[in-house]
Structure 1
Amino acid sequence: MTVPVSSPLTNFAAYTPPNSTQTRIGHLDLESQKITPLSHQSGTPLTNLYEVISAGKNAQFIPTSRFESPLELSSVTLLPPISGRDVLAVGKNYVEHAKEFNSSGFDSSDKVDQPTHPVIFTKRATSIVACHSEIFPHTGWTKTLDYEGEIGVILGKGGFGIPEGEALDYVWGFTIINDVTARERQRDHKQFFLGKSADTFCPMGPIAVPITSLPDCQSLRITTSVNNELRQDSNLSELIFSIPTLVSTISSSQTIRPGDVIATGTPAGVGIGRAPPAYLKPGDVIQVSVSNLGTLTNRISTPGKRPPPILQQSPAPPKNFTQLTTLRNGKQAYIERHGDQTSSKVIVFVHGLGANTTFYHPLLSPALLKHNLILYDLEGHGQTPTTASSITRIPTYVDDLENLMSSLPLSPVPRISLVAHSFGCLIALTYASKHPLQNLILLGPVPVPLKPASAELILKRADRVRAEGMLPLAETIISGAVSQKTRTTNPLAVTLSRSILRGNDVEGYAKCCTAFARFTGEGINWDRLRVSSEKVVIAGDEDKSAPLSVTRKTAEKIEAKLVVLEEVGHWLVMEDLEGVERVVEGVFC
C-alpha cells in the first residue's frame, strides 16, 4: 500500500535512523511527531541540510520510500538541522532586552541602552547540539547560566558586499536557537565569545524551514518558557536591526556562504533581567517556540555528567573516500553486509595485506549466505580511507574491528566467528585473545613475530611501494604468491589477485607493511586461544608467504585442525575455491 504524503515536505530535520550511523534528512510532521525520510528526485537520500540548501529554496524532494510508513520521532536520534560551522550571532537586538542587559551590570560592551550598530559575535560550532540534547551546566566554570531564545536565519547564497535591498534574496530559511550564556564570563572577559561558546551552549532545531514555506517570515512569534513558566514573548518584527541589515552588515567586509547561520538576537525576559536574577539550574527545562518552526526543548543536565564528546575531524584529507560507515572511534570504514542479517550466526571476514573485501566474494556460497556475513576493508585498503597522520599497528586494526562491531546495528554485540587471511590472521588472533569467538578459521596465517631479516624485507617493501607505486610491486608479489599450477592453469585467479593488489592505496599498503614488520605478538594470548572456540587452519602446500611449517606451528599452538590444500600458494580462495569452500561450509553449515 502506498503511504499518503502531505506536501510540501519542508520541515527539514536531521537524524540518524534506528540501528544506523548514517546521517539523513527527513520531513518532521510537528503534529504527529513522525519523520518522512527524504531523497533527491533521483532517488538518492538526502544526508545533510547543505544538500537541501544547494538545491535552492524552491527545490522539491520526495519520500525515500513510497511504501514504508514514516518513522516515529522517538525511534531516531535527532540531530541539529545544520552544524559544522560557527554561528554568527547578534547581541542586544531587541529594545527591551538591550535595556535589561545594560542595567544588569553584566554588559561590559557598551554604556547605552540601545546600540548604534549591530553587535556581532560568534558561537563555536562545537557548542551546537540538537533538540532534546542536554545542556551541560559547567558548574565549575559558571554560576550564572542563562537562556536566550532566538530565531536563526540560514543563508542560502554566498556573497560579499550585499546591498540591504537585496539581502533577503540570500536567506534560505529559519530555525530556532537557544543562545545559552555564562553571564559572568561574558562580563569578566568583556566580550561575548567565551561566555556563549561552551560545549552544548547552542541548542538548535528541531527543524529548519525554507523562507518560501513561511508566508509571513518577518513577523514570526517567539516565546521562551522555563519549567513551563513563560519568560519571553516577542516578534521578529521588533528587531532593532532587521535581517536585511544584518546580512548587509556582516557581508560588508567578509564573504558569507550558503549554510551560514545568523542568530538574530533575543527579546526581553532573560534570567538576568529578573529581580532577583533567575539563573538556570540542573533539571530545568527550557522550551523555545517559534511559529511554524516548532519547539526547541532542552534540559539542564546534572553536574556529575560530562558533555558528549566532540569528535575531532582531522584537517588532513582522507584518501580513497567513498560511501563509508563512521565507527565509534571517529574513523570511517567501508563495510559490506551479506546474507541473512537477522541470523544469530555472525561471521566477520578479515582480509590480508594488499587485499580487500573482493578477496572473499567468491567464497559467499548460497549455504554461507544463510548466515549474517560482514566484510570490511582495513584502513587504507580497498575503499576504507587513511590519512597522512594516521599511524596503523595491529592494536589499531583490532580497535577498528571492535568499533566496527559496536557501530553496527547489532544489539547486543554477539559472540562472532572470524575468517581471516594472511596478515588479517594477526588481527583475528589478537581480537580472539580479548573476545571469545564461536569459530575461528585462519587462511595462511603468517609468522608471529617475523624473523628480523624478514621484517627488514617487509619494511623495504614499504619504502619501495612509496617510491615506485603498486603496479611493479604487484607483479613481484604475484609471481611468488601463487603456486606453479595456478600460474599455468588458472589465469583468472592470477588476474583477479593482481587486480586486487594493483588497486591498493600506496600509503595504506605501506603502513600495513610497517605494522606487520613491527608486530612482536604482543596482545596474542596463546593459552586463551587454545581453550576457545572451534578452530581450523587452512594452508597451501606451496605457500611461500606462510610456509607449511609456519601454519602447522600456528595450528599446534592454538590446538586447531590443520587442512592442507595441495598445489596451492598464498591466495587460497582464488587458487582453490572448492577446497576452501568445503572447509568453511563444513564449519558453518
Structure 2
Amino acid sequence: MRIANLNGRAQLLFGTGALDIAEASQGEFGPDPMSLYPQWAQFLAWAGRQNGDHATQYRVDELGAPVPRPRQVFAIGLNYAEHAAETGMSAGPDVPALFTKFAASLTGPTGSVDLSGPSVDWEVELVVVIAREATRVHARDAWSHVAGVTVGQDYSDRDVQMSGECPQFSLGKSFPGYGPTGPALVTVDEIEAMQTEALRLRCWINDELVQDGTTDQMLIPVPQLVERISAVCTLHPGDLIFTGTPAGVGMGRTPARYLQPGDTVRTRIDGIGEMIHTFTSPSYVNGN
C-alpha cells in the first residue's frame, strides 16, 4: 500500500485517488501522518481491509513529505563504490559514512527550492522509514522494523559541506528544501511483491539523465545499515534513513557541474514514484 501526506493529512493512495485515513477509520487513526507510526501494526491491519471505493481525486502538487517531522534523520555517504570513486573519496566495505540531515530541510515531492549558492549538487536516494523502535537489531530482523521506503534527494551545498578543516556534511545538506521525499511511502510488502532484488534510481536535470543506478549496487544494504545504526542509536517510529546515492553527481564531473537558477530536477525510483523540483535564485530575509 501507499501512504501519503495530502495537505497535512494522512491518506491511503489508490491510483489517482486518496482516502482520508482519519475520516475512513472514524477517528481510530488521527489525521497527522506522524501519528500512524506508533500504531503501525494496528494501522496496517486496518489499511489492508480498505479499498478505493471512497477515494477522491488529488493533485500531486498537494502532496507533502510522507514523514513530515521525523525524530531523527540519518544519511549514508559513499555507499555506492562508483560514487565514492568519482568524488575522490575512499569507501570502506564495512563502515558506513554516517551523518544527519536536519529535519528542517525536509519538503515534499514538488515545488521550488532556493539555491544557497553556486555549488549545489544532486543525489537521488532510496529513503527508508522506520516502523517500530529498533535497538541493537540484527540484520536478519531489520525489515520487520521498517514501514516502507520512499524517494529522496540529498541536495548538497558543496562549498558549505567542504568548508573548514573538518567537513560540515550535515550543515551543507540541510538548507530549506534540501531533503525532499515522496511522493508516498510504499510499504515493504508492496516492494516485495515487485519480485525484484533491485530498484532502479534515476535523476534528470532539465531532461538530461545524470544518474542511473540500482539499489543492489549498495556497498552496505538496508538490513546492515539498520543493524549498524541501531547498535549505537535507538531508531524510533518515523525515523528516516537516506541510504546513499549512485554515481553521476555534479562534483564528480570534469569540470564540476552544479545546479543553476531555472534548473528542473526530476528524481525517480521505479516502483515507488517520482519527484520534480525547480531551483530558484537565492532569496534573502531581513534585507540581507
- Superposition TM-score tier, normalisation by shorter sequence: 0.7 to 0.9
TM-score by length of 1: 0.44
Gaps of 5+ in 2: none
Per-residue deviation, 1:258: 1.1
Question: Is 1:208 aligned to 2:193, yes or no?
Answer: no
- 2:249 corresponds in structure 1 to 270
**What amino acid does structure 2 have at the position aligned with 1:280?**
L
Q: Residue 81 in 1 paired to residue 84 in 2?
A: no
Matched, 1:49 2:33: yes
Count of residue correspondences: 276
Q: After TM superposition, list the pairs within 5 Å mapping 1:112-511 onto structure 2.
A: 112-114=90-92, 116-138=94-116, 142-189=117-164, 190-215=167-192, 216=195, 218-304=197-283
SS of 2:90 mapped into structure 1: coil
Give the C-alpha shift of residue 64 in structure 1: 10
Over aligned residues, Cα RMSD in angstroms? Answer: 2.4
> How far apart are the structure 1 equivalents of 2:163 and 2:19?
46
Change (3 A) 1:136 1:191: same
Cα displacement (A) at 1:52 = 3.1
Match of 1:36 in 2: 19
| In 2, Cα distance between equivalents of 1:249 and 1:178 | 22
Q: Is the 8 A contact 2:114 2:283 kept in 1?
A: no
Contact 1:36 1:71 in 2 (8 A): no
Q: Give the residue type in structure 1 aligned to 2:118.
A: K
**How far off its partner does 1:195 sit?**
0.7
- How many angstroms does 1:223 deviate by? 0.7
Q: Compute the displacement of 1:132 (Å).
A: 1.0
Deviation at 1:292, TM superposition (A): 1.6
CA shift for structure 1 position 274 = 1.8
Q: Which residue of the other structure, out of 3, 6, 11, is the alignment partner of 2:2?
A: 11
Q: Which amino acid aligns with 1:52?
A: L
Summarize deviations over 1:484-517 as a string: whole Å, max 9, x none.
xxxxxxxxxxxxxxxxxxxxxxxxxxxxxxxxxx
Whole-Å separation in 2 of the counterparts to 1:90 and 1:278: 22
The secondary structure found in structure 2 opposite 1:154 is strand
Higher RCO, 1 vs 2 (CA within 8 Å, ≥6 residues apart): 2
Q: 2:172 corresponds to which letter in structure 1? A: G
Deviation at 1:272, TM superposition (A): 1.1
Measured in 2, the distance between the counterparts of 1:40 and 1:179 equals 34
CA distance in 1, matches of 2:129, 2:214: 18
Alpha-carbon shift at residue 217 of structure 1 (Å): 6.6
Letter in 2 for 1:301: T
Q: 1:210 to 1:151 in 2, by over 3 A?
A: same
Q: Distance in 2 between matches of 1:279 and 1:287?
A: 15
Identity %: 29
Unpaired runs of 5+ in structure 1? 1-9, 17-22, 103-110, 307-589
What amino acid sits opposite 2:126 in the alignment? I
- Residue by residue over 1:287-333, the C-alpha shift from the partner in whole angstroms, topping out at 9 and shown as x without a partner, is 11112211011111233477xxxxxxxxxxxxxxxxxxxxxxxxxxx
The answer for the alignment partner of 1:26 in structure 2 is: 11
Answer 1 or 2: which has greater strand percent. Answer: 2
Quote the Cα distance in structure 1 between the aligned partners of 2:93 and 2:232: 20
1-structure distance, mates of 2:93, 2:87: 12
- SS of structure 1 residue aligned to 2:87: helix
Structure of larger gyration radius:
1
CA–CA distance in structure 2, aligned partners of residues 305 and 15 of structure 1: 29
Task: Work out the CA distance in 2 between the residues paired with 1:218 and 1:188.
Answer: 38
Aligned residue identity for 1:144: S
TM-score (norm. length: structure 2): 0.87
Q: Give the Cα–Cα distance (whole angstroms) in 2 for the partners of residues 304 and 172 of structure 1.
A: 36
For residue 252 of structure 1, report the CA deviation from its aligned partner. Answer: 0.7
- 1:96 paired to 2:74: no
Change (3 A) 1:28 1:300: farther
